[in-house]
Amino acid sequence: MDAREREDYVEAVLSLVERVPAGRVTTYGALAACVGTGGPRLVGRVMSTYGGPVPWWRVVHSDGTPPIVHDSVATRRHQAEGTPLRASGKVDLTQAMWWPDDPDPQLADGPGLSVPGGGIVR
CA distance 67 to 53: 15
For the chain, the structural domain boundaries read 3-121
- The reported pLDDT for the residue numbered 102 is 61
CB atoms within 10 A of CB 42: 18
Mean pLDDT of the chain: 85
Is the pLDDT score of 3 beyond 50?
Answer: yes
Whether residue 108 is predicted with pLDDT greater than 50 in this model: the reply is no
Type of residue found at 57: W
* Three-state secondary-structure class, residue 121: strand
**pLDDT score, position 1:** 77
Indicate the residue type of 115.
V
- Contact (CB, 8 A) for 122 and 112: yes
Quick one: pLDDT at residue 69? 80
Whether domain 3-121 has CATH 1.10.10.10: the reply is: yes
Paired residues of 26 in beta bridges: 59
Helix (H, G, I), strand (E, B) or coil at 85: strand
> Identity (one letter) of the amino acid at 89?
G
The pLDDT value recorded for residue 67 is 87
Q: Report the percent of the chain where pLDDT is more than 90.
A: 70
Please give the model's pTM, rounded to 2 decimal places: 0.81
Please state the separation of Cα 24 from the chain's center in Å. Answer: 9
Those residues whose C-beta lies under 8 Å from the C-beta of residue 73, and which sit 6 or more positions away, are 57
